[in-house]
Chain A
Amino acid sequence: MLQEKVVFQKPRALHDTTTHYCPGCIHGIVHRLVAEVIDELDVRDRTIGIAPVGCSVLAYNYIDVDFAEAAHGRATAMATGIKRVQPGHVVFTYQGDGDLAAIGTNELIHAATRGENFTTIFINNAIYGMTGGQMAPTTLPGQVTSSTPYGRDVQQAGYPVRVCEMVSTLTGAAYVVRRTATNPKEIRRLKKAITTAFKVQMAGLGYSLVEVISNCPTNWGMTPIESLKWIEASLIPYYPLGDYKVIEGVSRL
């Protein structure tokens, strides 16, 4: 008699729906990984997500946990409020490069320096996706965007900011890593990082940040495959993958 065994399925914590993201956008992958981690850690009924302003503003329609929608840049402050009054819960913010590295940088730095026990998933694609492709703080020198039509001129618009490097200088930050999702190996490493970040939070070790070098085929004017190649060729050299801060105690998790 034939027996069926499920070897792969949509995570329980991922809503069975189509997303609004562009074809080839890495948001879809990261959402799935977050949902898998929530399932595997069995924390769905005590997890609270905070969505940003950006392409992933509707993240709460895709991941099946309690969710709040924050003002632009303020997710880390909202997360602080939610976690401080419910310290036994798992709290994560999901933010893009405008939300985190422009308008929300102050809130990011202070959450990290306070060692707030929540996790930030930081999606860095060096551009403002939702509003139509303007310069981000992480846009590369010379990169053409809708507000740097002649290419980012460092004399006028300054230099990009490296968030992991910056946050890793803060004592309250416990786990600060940069990953990507350009191929299966990187996706597996990214998932492991998200799992570790959640465990860091659950062990009360401090602030955890997983930066994901991501893409924007639409606003970069590339095909999805071209965009993954561009990440490897141009973004990763500027934003090297790696572990920027891993405090003692993380390895024992």
Chain B
Amino acid sequence: MSTVLMKGNEAIGEAAIRAGCKAYFGYPITPQTEVLEYMSKRMPKLGRVFLQAESELGAINMVYGAACAGERVMTSTSSPGFSLMQETVSYIACSMVPAVLVNITRGGPGLGNIQPAQSDYFQMTKGGGHGDYRAITLAPATIQEVVDHVVLAFDLADKYRQLVMVMADGMIGQMMEPVTLPEMAEPQRPERPWALTGAKDRPKNVITSLFLGAAKLEQINLQLQALYREIEANEVRYAEYLLDDADIVIVAYGTAGRIVQTAVKRAREMGIKAGLFRPVTVYPFPYDRLRDIAEGARQVLVVEMSAGQMLEDVRLATRDAVPIRFFGKPGGVVPLPEDVLQEIKAVANQAAT
């Protein structure tokens, strides 16, 4: 275990390498281009596959190919590039091949800007591509977490034979923090009899997402749904900060979660009983735990760097049993802890009157 000061994007690359990522395909897009550049330096030295594709369309389809071959493969991109990838994300989900996708999210919609934002939440957690599918989406708040999540993503991808995504905003991609990296090790992987490795001593394998008969496609869908129920039962992750006696429960994830944590600390110093509930998996969303937490609260405050996307999941979780207030900054604006503290104080004062 080594502890180093690293930039988020580079830590993502190194974490993937340590997790045994055998192939990386990507395309430059701010604010994640350093992932591509880092991999371009490291992967060839290790005899692994690196290729800068002609577009995000190329990159995700190269990922799909390598995933069909059963290798650990990853791509990274940012919001507009992620939009380009949606068709093939849907194909990969249906095909049940493991792969990892890191989305370093930025301001949108449209070309937007290159500042950190959290406005790809719907796209990532509700299935940004067509059809009935979901993809496990991890939401780190620190560089250590993003390293842990990239490693976890490869393991979960293997466990469920699915695409697993990591949603980190541009702040996490660009900033530098001390991080402890895992050892370089050959990963323990399940057998992959389905992989396109050449039909030697076995019948041929076909990996397709085309099922022309409706009855058959229904069956495939039911299979996927059963998998998602299993994922929802077993892979929910969240973090809690000062929630035991909290009147005001603030729900935030990723960088917003980190900002809120500072605001909560300051609020507590002022005697306000605030606490933070931070989803770590945004799919599967921690509905049950959030519902339990919210039951004891007087007020829920949702803080997002968006116009309000996770907000809907919070409402779903709490069934509107507790008043919900929203504080959001869309367009790549990053709120300060001060801004969040003002909101918390307003909530606290409102309750007092």
> Could you tell me if A106 and B198 are in contact, using CB atoms closer than 8 angstroms?
no
A68-B207, A85-B23, A110-B58 known; A45+B53 contact, CB < 8 A: no
Indicate which residue in B54, B58, B207 contacts A67 across the interface (CB closer than 8 Å): B207
> Could you tell me if B200 and A46 are in contact, using CB atoms closer than 8 angstroms?
yes
Q: Does any Cβ of A come within 8 Å of B57's Cβ?
A: yes
Q: Does any Cβ of A come within 8 Å of B182's Cβ?
A: no
A46-B200, A84-B23 known; A107+B61 contact, CB < 8 A: yes
B108 CB to closest chain A CB (Å) equals 24
For B64, the chain A residues whose CB sits under 8 A away are: 68, 70-71, 74, 78, 81
- List the B residue with the shortest CB-CB distance to A110: B54
A44-B199, A45-B198, A45-B201 known; A82+B68 contact, CB < 8 A: yes
CA A77 to CA B59, docked complex, whole Å? 8
- List the B residue with the shortest CB-CB distance to A53: B210
For A78, the chain B residues whose CB sits under 8 A away are: 61-62, 64-65, 68
Residues of A65-124 whose CB lies within 8 A of B: 65-71, 74, 77-86, 89, 106-107, 109-110, 114
> Could you tell me if A85 and B22 are in contact, using CB atoms closer than 8 angstroms?
yes
For A110, the chain B residues whose CB sits under 8 A away are: 53-54, 58
> Could you tell me if A65 and B199 are in contact, using CB atoms closer than 8 angstroms?
yes
Of the listed residues A47, A48, A83, the one surrounded by the most CB atoms of chain B closer than 10 A to its CB is A48
Indicate which residue in A48, A77, A106, A114 contacts B196 across the interface (CB closer than 8 Å): A48
CA A82 to CA B51, docked complex, whole Å? 12
Indicate which residue in B58, B205, B208 contacts A77 across the interface (CB closer than 8 Å): B58
- Give the total of A residues in contact with B, Cβ under 8 Å: 35
For B277, the chain A residues whose CB sits under 8 A away are: none
A130 CB to closest chain B CB (Å) equals 12
Interface of B is mostly: mixed
> Could you tell me if B54 and A82 are in contact, using CB atoms closer than 8 angstroms?
no
For B199, the chain A residues whose CB sits under 8 A away are: 44-45, 47, 64-66
Of the listed residues B49, B54, B55, the one surrounded by the most CB atoms of chain A closer than 10 A to its CB is B54
> Could you tell me if A68 and B62 are in contact, using CB atoms closer than 8 angstroms?
no
- List the B residue with the shortest CB-CB distance to A86: B69
Q: Does any Cβ of B come within 8 Å of A60's Cβ?
A: yes
B140 CB to closest chain A CB (Å) equals 26
> Could you tell me if B198 and A89 are in contact, using CB atoms closer than 8 angstroms?
yes
Q: Does any Cβ of A come within 8 Å of B209's Cβ?
A: yes
CA A44 to CA B196, docked complex, whole Å? 12
- List the A residue with the shortest CB-CB distance to B23: A85
For A81, the chain B residues whose CB sits under 8 A away are: 23, 25, 61-69, 73
Of the listed residues B49, B198, B208, the one surrounded by the most CB atoms of chain A closer than 10 A to its CB is B198
For A86, the chain B residues whose CB sits under 8 A away are: 69, 197-198
CA A44 to CA B202, docked complex, whole Å? 11
Q: Does any Cβ of A come within 8 Å of B126's Cβ?
A: no
> Could you tell me if A82 and B53 are in contact, using CB atoms closer than 8 angstroms?
no
B149 CB to closest chain A CB (Å) equals 23
CA A45 to CA B203, docked complex, whole Å? 9
CA A114 to CA B198, docked complex, whole Å? 24
Q: Does any Cβ of B come within 8 Å of A57's Cβ?
A: yes
- List the A residue with the shortest CB-CB distance to B51: A84
- List the A residue with the shortest CB-CB distance to B92: A71
CA A68 to CA B22, docked complex, whole Å? 20
Indicate which residue in B49, B71, B206 contacts A69 across the interface (CB closer than 8 Å): B206
Indicate which residue in B25, B49, B65 contacts A79 across the interface (CB closer than 8 Å): B65
> Could you tell me if A66 and B196 are in contact, using CB atoms closer than 8 angstroms?
yes
A166 CB to closest chain B CB (Å) equals 15
Q: Does any Cβ of A come within 8 Å of B309's Cβ?
A: no
A66-B205, A69-B208 known; A84+B200 contact, CB < 8 A: no
CA A66 to CA B53, docked complex, whole Å? 24
For B63, the chain A residues whose CB sits under 8 A away are: 81
Indicate which residue in B49, B55, B88, B208 contacts A85 across the interface (CB closer than 8 Å): B49
> Could you tell me if B66 and A67 are in contact, using CB atoms closer than 8 angstroms?
no
A16 CB to closest chain B CB (Å) equals 14
Q: Does any Cβ of A come within 8 Å of B228's Cβ?
A: no
Q: Does any Cβ of A come within 8 Å of B154's Cβ?
A: no
Q: Does any Cβ of A come within 8 Å of B87's Cβ?
A: yes
> Could you tell me if A68 and B65 are in contact, using CB atoms closer than 8 angstroms?
yes
Q: Does any Cβ of A come within 8 Å of B204's Cβ?
A: yes
- List the B residue with the shortest CB-CB distance to A72: B87
Knowing that A65-B199, A85-B71 are A-B contacts, what are 19 other residue pairs whose CB atoms are under 8 Å apart, sorted by A's residue number?
A45-B200, A45-B201, A46-B200, A48-B196, A50-B65, A51-B208, A66-B206, A67-B204, A67-B208, A74-B57, A74-B58, A78-B62, A80-B61, A80-B65, A81-B25, A81-B64, A82-B66, A85-B22, A85-B23
For the complex of A and B, the 3 pairs showing the least CB-CB separation, nearest first, are: A81-B65, A77-B61, A69-B208
Give 27 A-B contacts (CB < 8 Å), ordered by A residue.
Answer: A45-B198, A45-B201, A46-B200, A66-B196, A66-B205, A67-B196, A67-B206, A68-B65, A68-B68, A69-B206, A69-B207, A69-B210, A70-B64, A74-B57, A74-B58, A74-B88, A77-B65, A78-B65, A78-B68, A80-B61, A81-B61, A81-B69, A82-B66, A82-B68, A82-B69, A106-B58, A107-B57
Which residues does A use to contact B, with CB under 8 Å?
Answer: 44-48, 50-51, 57-58, 60, 64-71, 74, 77-86, 89, 106-107, 109-110, 114
Which residues does B use to contact A, with CB under 8 Å?
Answer: 22-23, 25, 49, 51, 53-55, 57-59, 61-69, 71, 73, 87-88, 91, 196-201, 204-210
